[in-house]
Amino acid sequence: MQKIKTALVSYGMSGKVFHAPFLQEHSGYELVGAWERSKKNIQNDYPDTKSYNSFEELLNDSVDLVIVNTPVNTHYEYAKKALQAGKHVLVEKAFTATTTEAEGLETLAKQKGLKLTVYQNRRWDSDFKTVKKIVDEGNLGKLIEAEIHFDRYNPNLSPKAHKETGEPGAGILWDLGSHITDQAVVLFGYPDAVFADIRKTRENSKIDDWFDIILYYPDKRVRLKAGFFMREPVHSYILHGTKGSFLKQRADVQEDELKEGKKPGSDNWGTEPKEKEGLLHTEIDGEVVKKTIATEQGNYGELFELLYQSLTTGIKEPVTAEEGVQVMKIIDAAQKSSALKQVVEL
């Protein structure tokens, strides 16, 4: 089996929780090491790896794939250097700070003949996989409207300084918004226009921490919402069609399991509690049906498997750079819409 030698650009929470366990679990990857600026931790967890003292040292090593999992405002710089060094690149969400940066990376990857993909792991959440199955089956009839929420109750400023400084790429629109914007594009395609209201709601916040976005499609409207003052959140997925509705909570367990140190790959990995099942109320074959729907199994490992297949067989990336650019265009349009208080055409 061909081995994809892979290095991380950092080994903080993202590298330790979301990337290294899946690279280690997949027999097609070899985790070579990580660039560690101060604390040297990767060798404690993976003794056969290297701790690089600089990005240049990482790029000069025998590495096939570089995972850029640093703050958003550094994504463009590191991904560009990695591509210029002839490495395939997986970039954490949000893809970049601006559309211009995203388009620049997409162009460079094409010129170099390299794979460039975005780590939109929430496509493989159990709840979203279930919603996508419902949409694909078509039992709601013609969709009229949908809402996707990413609600939290966390009124305190983040202890991670880079998340609260107000630098390019910081804020809820890039952090949580990039996830649900990508999910909307996966479900419904690229919208025609955007209307957005973006606010600061926490005391002393330097970043936007609340948004309400409407995506305009010829036959439907899709609302995206997120904020930090939802102690009692509503359903995270709300879909209404001409035949019926589907409601689903956000209940994927993978992040919590990873933070607890559980290793992916077990039979019950990513299995939601049964009480979190979504509610389908619709009409099927002329009969009104109201029932809960078994939740699909979540598995971020599917992203790494698809990326491996892309790197070794040439199929398209699990999340294409073009899709990453589309998300950035929507985020840029949302900012403009909020500032002007008007609908922005895409």
Nearest CA to 253 among 224, 296, 291?
Answer: 296
CB of 31 within 8 A of CB of 52? no
Domains and their CATH numbers in the chain = 4-121+303-315 (3.40.50.720), 122-297+330-345 (3.30.360.10)
Distance, CA of 169 to CA of 162 (rounded, Å): 10
Q: What pLDDT, in 10s, does the model give residues 212-228?
A: 999 999 999 999 999 99
Alpha helices by DSSP H, 119-188: 126-137, 172-175, 177-188
CB of 297 within 8 A of CB of 126? yes
Q: What pLDDT, in 10s, does the model give residues 155-194?
A: 888 877 667 777 888 899 999 999 999 999 999 999 999 9
Q: Longest Cα pair distance anywhere in the chain, in angstroms?
A: 65
pLDDT number for residue 228: 94
Alpha helices by DSSP H, the chain: 13, 20-25, 42-45, 55-59, 75-84, 99-112, 126-137, 172-175, 177-188, 254-259, 301-313, 321-340
Distance, CA of 323 to CA of 319 (rounded, Å): 7
pLDDT number for residue 288: 97
Radius of gyration for the alpha carbons in the chain, expressed in angstroms and rounded: 20
Q: Is the pTM of this model over 0.75?
A: yes
pLDDT number for residue 129: 98
pLDDT number for residue 158: 81
pLDDT number for residue 196: 98
- Which residues of the chain fall below pLDDT 50? none
pLDDT number for residue 343: 98
